[in-house]
Structure formats: structure tokens, C-alpha cells
Amino acid sequence: MENIQTSSKPFNRFAIPVRWGIIWGIGSCIFTTVQHMFLLEPYSLYFSLFFVQFLLALVFYCIAGIQQRKAMGGYINFKDAFQAIFVVIVISSVIGSLYTFIYFKWIDPDVMVTIKEQTLASMEKWGAPADSIDEAAENFDKNGNASIGSMFLNLCKGIIISSIFGFICAAIVKKKKPEFGAA
């Protein structure tokens, strides 16, 4: 008897998350460029774009989880949902971090000077104490240069923080298969 397959291809649990990780990674590169090229002057708008980027990341995580659930027959447990979302987080974070490093190092190396000036001016405007402003300036001078070490550290921090929100998205996306015949 011939073995008939219901689908032309076997299910690849990484296809959907990899696709959405690449899409969101490219999206975050676009956000980085827009943020640093066009929105540095009104500092509140610069930070608003960070918030919008964060919300869009959550949307992309949920979309990837929902698509993964559909691909798995409409049901997905928490572990599988988080696994898909975590793949999106890692891929998009690596792409975004590499691009940010390249942007700060070679595309616009003077952007850190502008960010420092805007940060310190905003701190003064908001009435921060002089020693806090001096400390912030010192931190910029010490940590402001784009280096592989700082990029890797920021990448790890970003993955950890994003994973916390990925857990929340996985809890939203999960859908338990109903058990029939349970008494």
C-alpha cells in the first residue's frame, strides 16, 4: 500500500519564525536609520519612536506566534509558541544590533555626539541636578563608542528583555487542543 502524505512538504517549525525575524530585523534597521537621521532634534519624538518600535516588535512576535499556531493545525502549547517567538527575537535582535553597530561605526560616526548633546540638554531642561548631568556626560564619554563588546552586551540585554515580553506574547498566542472524552 502506498503511503500518502496529506501535505506536499513536512512542517518546518522554524520557517515562520525565521521569516518574521528577518522581516522585523530589517524593519528595526529602518527604524534605526529614521531615528538617527531625521528625528534627533525634537528629543521627545526620538524617544517616542523607541516606544513605537517596541510596540511593533510585540505585534510581530504575536503575528509569528499566531501564524505558527495556524501552521500547527490551530493549536499550540506555550513552549512551542515561545520557541517560535524566541527565534524571531534572536534573529531580529542580531540583525538590528549588527546594523546599529555598522551605523554608529561607519555610516554616521558623529551620531553619538548628537545623542550626547541632546541627552544633556534635555536633562538640563528637565531640571536634573548638575552632578547627574556630569555623570551622564562621563558615561557617554566612557561607553559612547561603538565597540564589539558593548554591542554584544546590548544584544544580550535586548534578548533578555524582549524574551520577557515574548513570554507574555506566547501566553496570549497559546491555544490548548480540547480533550475529547474526558470525564
Least confident stretch, 36-40, 90-94, 113-117, 118-122 = 36-40
The 3-class SS string of 40-82 reads CCCHHHHHHHHHHHHHHHHHHHHHHHHHHHHHCCCCECHHHHH
Helix, strand, coil percentages in the chain from 3-state DSSP, rounded to 5: 75, 0, 25
The pLDDT, as a whole number, for residue 7 is: 54
Q: Is the pLDDT of residue 113 over 90?
A: no
pLDDT above 50 (res 48): yes
What does the pLDDT average to over 37-52?
77
pLDDT tens string 131-171: 998 998 888 877 766 678 888 999 999 999 999 999 999 99
Within a 10 A sphere around the Cβ of 114, how many other Cβ atoms?
14
Residues of the chain with pLDDT > 90, as a percent, come to 59
Which residues are paired to 175 by β-bridges? 76
The domain limits of the chain are 15-173
Judge whether 49 and 31 are in contact, CB under 8 Å. yes
Does residue 125 or residue 55 have the better pLDDT?
55
Please check the confidence at residue 84 and state whether its pLDDT lies above 70: yes
- The average pLDDT across 166-177 equals 96
Cell 520557517 -> residue: 15
Q: What's the pLDDT score for residue 118?
A: 82
Estimate to the nearest angstrom the gap between the alpha carbon of 102 and the chain centroid: 17
Q: What CA–CA distance (Å, rounded) separates 134 from 122? A: 13
Choose among 82, 78, 102, 101: nearest CA to 90: 82
* CB neighbours of residue 30 within 10 Å: 11
